[in-house]
Amino acid sequence: MALVVAKFGGTSLGGAERIRNVARRLISRKESGDDIVAVVSAMGDVTDELVELAREVSSDPPDREMDMLLATGEQVSIALLAMAIHDMGHEAISFTGTQVGIVTDPVHRKAKITEVKVDRVREALSTGRIVIVAGFQGATPDGQITTLGRGGSDTTAVAVAAGIGADVCEIYTDVDGVFTADPRIVPSARKIDSISYEEMLEMASSGAGVLQMRSVEFARNHGVVVHCRSSFTDSPGTIVKEADETMEQAIISGVTHDTSEAKITLRDVPDRPGVAAQVFTAMADANVNVDMIIQNVSEQETTDISFTVPKDDLGSANRALDDIVAKLGAREWSVDDSVAKVSLVGAGMRTHPGIAAQMFRTMAEVGVNIDMISTSPIRISCVVAADQVADAVRALHDVFGLGSDESGGEDEPTHGGGE
């Protein structure tokens, strides 16, 4: 008997029949003797549709009200799934984030979980019921509803798994696991059987949409084993856990890409101590997540600073920048949203010199110009023109030999980007 948390994403819950399928799956798991907690996302594209509706009524919706709105999506799913299970003659009970005690900080739209109480979950499990928890949402200590950032149901699942001491946190999704590249771009991309937290963290933070980055961080910090797998088949997916000898010792694990960021450039910023601090303090105060940063060599006492931010944060960034640019006496600032980031991730980079050189050479050979570069000990990322990113991903996947030997065979991966 195992204690299992199983998270189902929007695609797996897209419509009544799919909800009934998830119900069947949970019941058969329960009947095999496991205790099971399901964490669910909003159905299908509901969250996107709610975001769109908000935009139609307001050019800049307040974050608190966005959370109030977006949290409704998951509440629909938990109720319907519980009903479906009841209809099949089994006991289930649904809880919102507030009800199970997912306590967060007050940063609306990307709140961080500060405490997971889960007493209610334990209690309901002890009565033999299947427990269903709304993903993506929590509440501040004083009862304000918050959400955990897009894709946040993954983090709810891992947090609940940590809270109840689950044996495994299974993330059911519309792809077969974590791939060496997005199979929609690289048909020969291969499913990875197991990967370390460290590498998965870099993959998730650089665009592998299959797991929310924060969920991987949480899993690493609490030692939760995550199994990322398809909700449409029974085949094993990708296990994310602490690195050990059983893992394949690939130098490079994967090539990821990300089109969700924009590049901001400040021109002719005075070159004196404290300027960068002022710019990025302003971004931090506006809760803008800054990714890559480049500052040019200064000419005539001024310099240019470029950095990337999520396109979703552009509204807040814009407001903060108007102010800061005036204060600093910079000449101007601009936004380029036709950029993308391509990254190479692999723990073997630490010990194998020449990976960066080979990456840049490969990109040059396919005529892709590199705009910005950043690295971590196990990742190299380049910002390039958005319309060239697919070429870069394909060339890199090929050069580093990441594909399966026979592509296009029976093992053709399920296409899709993760949900």
Shortest Å distance, C-beta 310 to ligand ASP: 13
Q: Does residue number 110 form part of the binding site for ligand ASP (CB under 6 A)?
A: no
Which DSSP string corresponds to 5-27?
A: EEEE-TGGGSSHHHHHHHHHHHH
Answer whether 146's CB lies under 8 Å from 104's CB.
Answer: yes
Nearest to 254 by CA among 161, 306, 192, 201: 192
Q: Closest CB to Mg ion among 240 and 282?
A: 240
Q: Which of 5, 8, 10, 189 binds ligand ASP (CB under 6 A)?
A: 10
Is residue 418 involved in binding ligand ASP (CB under 6 A)?
no
Query: Which residue among 44, 138, 152, 183 contacts ligand ASP (CB under 6 A)?
Result: 152
Question: Residue 253 Cβ, how far from ligand ASP at the closest point, in Å?
Answer: 24
Give the number of residues in contact with ligand ASP, rule: CB under 6 A: 13
Of the candidates 23, 42, 266, 384, which one interacts with ligand ASP according to CB under 6 A? 42
- Which residues touch 162 (CB under 8 Å, ≥6 apart)? 116, 218, 219, 222, 224
Q: Does 138 bind ligand ASP (CB under 6 A)?
A: no
- Write phi, then psi, for 169 (nearest 5 degrees): -110, 110
Segment contacting Mg ion by CB under 5 A, of 97-105, 149-157, 191-199, 238-246? 149-157
Taking CA 12 as the corner, what is the angle to CA 126 and CA 74, rounded to the nearest 5 degrees? 65
Interface residue with ligand ASP, options 4, 5, 9, 218 (CB under 6 A) = 9
Residue placing its CB nearer to Mg ion in the complex, 153 or 308: 153
Q: Between residue 290 and residue 329, which ones bind ligand ASP under the rule CB under 6 A?
A: none
x/- mask, ligand ASP, residues 61-90, rule CB under 6 A, reads: ------------x-----------------
Query: Residue 170 binds which entry of Mg ion, ligand ASP, none, with Cβ cut-offs from 5 to 8 Å by kind?
Result: none
Residue from 8, 136, 197, 400 in contact with ligand ASP (CB under 6 A): 136
Which amino acid makes up residue 159?
A
Using rule CB under 6 A, residue 333 touches ligand ASP:
no
Q: 203 vs 292, which CB is nearer to ligand ASP?
A: 203
Minimum CB separation of residue 204 from Mg ion in Å reads 10
| Sole window of 80-88, 144-152, 214-222, 344-352 interacting with Mg ion (rule: CB under 5 A) | 144-152
The letter for the amino acid at 323 is D
Question: Which one of residues 138, 151, 346, 413 is an interface residue with ligand ASP (CB under 6 A)?
Answer: 151
136 binds, among ligand ASP, Mg ion, none (CB under 5 to 8 A by kind): ligand ASP
Residues forming a β-bridge with 145? 139
Q: Is 149 in the site for Mg ion (CB under 5 A)?
A: no
Q: Alpha helix locations (H) across 108-189?
A: 119-126, 153-164
Is 135 a residue that touches Mg ion (CB under 5 A)?
no
* Rounded CA separation 61/51 (Å): 10
Instruction: For residue 333, give both structure tokens.
Output: 């600032």
Q: Is 210 in the site for ligand ASP (CB under 6 A)?
A: no
Helical spans, DSSP H, in 88-211: 97-100, 119-126, 153-164, 197-205
Which one of the spans 41-49, 161-169, 236-244, 332-340 is the region binding ligand ASP (CB under 6 A)? 41-49
Q: Which of 170, 261, 312, 419 binds Mg ion (CB under 5 A)?
A: 419
Residue 35: contacted member of ligand ASP, Mg ion, none (CB under 5 to 8 Å, by partner type)? none
Residue-wise DSSP of 45-110: THHHHHHHHHHHH-SS--HHHHHHHHHHHHHHHHHHHHHHHHHTT--EEEE-HHHHTEEE-S-TTS
* Order of strands across the sheet that contains 113-116: 113-116, 102-104, 137-139, 145-147
Paired sense of beta strands 130-134 and 226-230, if any:
unpaired
Q: Are 232 and 172 in contact (CB under 8 A)?
A: no
CB of 145 to ligand ASP, least distance (A): 14
Interface residue with Mg ion, options 151, 152, 207, 237 (CB under 5 A): 151
* 135 contributes a contact to ligand ASP by CB under 6 A: yes
321: tokens are 């920048």
How big is the CA angle at 71 (ends 66 and 73), to the nearest 5 degrees? Answer: 115
The Cα-based distances of 196 to 113, 193, 203, 235 in angstroms read 23, 11, 11, 20
DSSP class of residue 129 equals P
Residues lying near ligand ASP in the complex (CB under 6 A) are found at 9-10, 41-42, 47, 73, 135-136, 150-154
Which residues make up the interface to Mg ion (CB under 5 A)? 151, 419
